[in-house]
Amino acid sequence: MHDNEDEYWMRQALARAEEAAGAGEVPVGAVLVRDGAVLGTGTNAPVASRDATAHAEIRALRDAGERADNYRLPGTTLYVTLEPCTMCFGALIHARVERLVYGAAEPRAGVCESRLRLPDEDFYNHRIQVNGAVLADEAAELLRSFFARRR
């Protein structure tokens, strides 16, 4: 079960995903929150930036790191519209993000529930609480409609 706060922040992430779609990028958006305030935001931008690491999660971490003047971001929750990939999950661990909330599952490359189940592994030096499927239908529909328009 998801609470209203998670849905509120996921709607903010969905708005970032819509921005990405408007820019011709795969519609994924992320919002990093600490103490009820936005610390960083990100949209997918690998095409425009010519940077394979420019996923929404990474860009939100970079934005937050600048604002916090630190790459470590304890006490934060990342809201992202799509289940993270290996690279993004690793970055969340290195940043010491406390909690991850995502929308749609990513059956091909998601590492929280769909494939590797990395949050369940015990070899990391940091554990992240993970909640999935928050506004999953809305997030999945953004992706479906984006790719339907491209075909």
Q: Cα angle at 118 between 117 and 121, to 5 degrees?
A: 105
Distance CA 131, CA 151 (A): 32
Pairing of strands 29-34, 37-43: antiparallel
Is residue 75 classed as helix, strand or coil in its secondary structure?
coil
What is the spatial order of strands in the sheet that 76-82 belongs to? 37-43, 29-34, 76-82, 99-104, 129-131
Residues catalogued as catalytic: 57
